[in-house]
Chain A
């Protein structure tokens, strides 16, 4: 009886090993569904807090790590929408989170998530009462994305008392005056994004910002050339290549993001927002 039981158990064990091996073999031939692993889902805020053991600061950091490890180089529009939701959540869990405000300013508005960037920076501006950067970036959103230099300058002036360094205070006041006086200028926006890159530690994030700054600087060159073309010929350019043909540019700038530059209906050089618009 005992021997029969041992034999049965042994057989059951051997059979299980075989079934397990066969199942593993079948599974290895079945591919996973394609999915963007870093930013697949955004859980409700309360679920995120519970998963962090009730600790909202930990919830902010866990969501923050997801944002930081996401590869912006291969993200689609839907991924940026999830990133925007995550960053809104982080701003709610811990509005003082410096990285969140900084990344929101650097990435979200450039990828169709202007509202989320404004929310994050507004929260950070209120919470980080000792820091002038969130107000500066918030003002920049109005300057560059809303083309509203006056409102942007108002936030720069609000940021002045927060700057501990007198040089920074002067720089903010000076910039506010320039914005009000000259209105929007692409080259000025490029300079500010380049300054953001210079303040970041070396690495992927700094490179990303530098690419954005280079792209804006090249757009500024194109717009400057387009202005000269209009002054010289009394009409706008029909194709960007006209600027090279007219001798205003040695060659068309190569966009490091691959999206390229285009012309709006009025013949004014603009940034393409997707590859289907690329003219180069």
Chain B
């Protein structure tokens, strides 16, 4: 919490909520929905960055500075050490998501300058479900980053690869959709990339499945089955990554 990088990212999150508030004024028909949309993107971006910095602060940098040797001297397994760090990151992430969510709610309620849009966003359960989805999305990214940190000898690598994983996982849904709809008629592109994407889908989770913002923005609830399997997919992937991380970490030698 005292890390400067965390404070900077949290400040960035607050700033992005401010940007969301201002972006609402661009919209002629749906200022609250646009503010909510941009705010959701800002919260997702901030949560992922915060989680990545926490992984770097709490694990990667400790390894880099050899401080980890003191932590590992305690009578607890290395797996328990990683699980503890991951739990701490999750608690911090949920706290940050709650604060940013409350700020976004305030921004959305204030935006619009008195213009009453016809289709109002749903700011109750749908809003908080969306925030939970983003927190879960960020948790998957944190678990991946932790896995990289367990193996990496360069402290910045978990941050860089984690960010790339977050972008790739989120863009996967759009890519699959693009190819499924015929790739704008480019059959060569579809033939070349469809098998590759079909393979990647088994390795890389589709993080866009955890984005339920349409429920809050347009009151279009996602299907229960889709939400259920998306959550199961994310939690299972986190467990797999944590198991792999603890296996790698327990075999790692610190000189």
Contacts and interface: CB of A to CB of B under 8 A. Distances in A.
A20 interface: no
Given A68-B28, A98-B33, 19 more contacts: A46-B174, A46-B175, A49-B174, A53-B45, A53-B167, A54-B168, A54-B172, A54-B174, A54-B208, A57-B40, A57-B41, A65-B23, A96-B214, A98-B30, A99-B29, A99-B30, A103-B28, A201-B113, A206-B28
B36 to A, nearest CB: 10
Contacts of B169: 54
A205 interface: yes
A55 B211 CA distance: 9
Interface residues of B, number: 38
B1 to A, nearest CB: 25
Contact of A61 (B23, B45, B115): B23
B26 A68 contact: yes
Given A45-B178, A68-B26, A201-B28, A58 B218 contact: no
A61 B171 contact: no
Contacts of A68: 26-28
B171 A130 contact: no
Contact of A56 (B34, B45, B113, B208): B208
B167 A56 contact: no
A99 B118 CA distance: 12
Interface string B3-32: 000000000000000000001001111100
A256 interface: no
Contact of B170 (A53, A93, A131, A206): A53
Interface string B159-174: 0000000111111111
17 contacts: A45-B174, A46-B174, A50-B167, A54-B169, A54-B174, A56-B208, A57-B37, A57-B213, A64-B26, A64-B34, A68-B28, A93-B174, A98-B30, A130-B119, A130-B219, A200-B29, A201-B28
Interface in A50-107: 50, 52-58, 60-61, 64-65, 68-69, 93, 96, 98-99, 102-103
A118 B209 CA distance: 29
Interface in B191-209: 207-208
Interface of B, secondary structure class, is helix
B217 A102 contact: no
B38 interface: yes
3 nearest interchain CB pairs? A54-B170, A54-B171, A58-B41
B220 interface: yes
A169 B236 CA distance: 49
Contacts of A56: 173-174, 208
A61 B213 CA distance: 14
Nearest to B27: A99
Interface of A: 45-46, 49-50, 52-58, 60-61, 64-65, 68-69, 93, 96, 98-99, 102-103, 128, 130-131, 200-201, 203, 205-206
B26 A131 contact: no
Contacts of B23: 61, 65
B41 A102 contact: no
Contacts of B27: 68, 99
B44 interface: yes
A102 B29 contact: yes
Contacts of B30: 98-99
B4 to A, nearest CB: 23
B37 A61 contact: yes
Nearest to B30: A98
B41 A61 contact: yes
A46 B178 contact: yes
Nearest to B42: A58
Contacts of A60: 37
B224 to A, nearest CB: 18
Contacts of B113: 201
B171 A49 contact: yes
B211 A57 contact: yes
A117 B172 CA distance: 28
Nearest to B116: A201
B220 A96 contact: yes
Contacts of B184: 45
Contact of B28 (A45, A65, A102): A102
B28 A205 contact: yes
A209 to B, nearest CB: 10
A147 to B, nearest CB: 28
Contacts of A46: 171, 174-175, 178
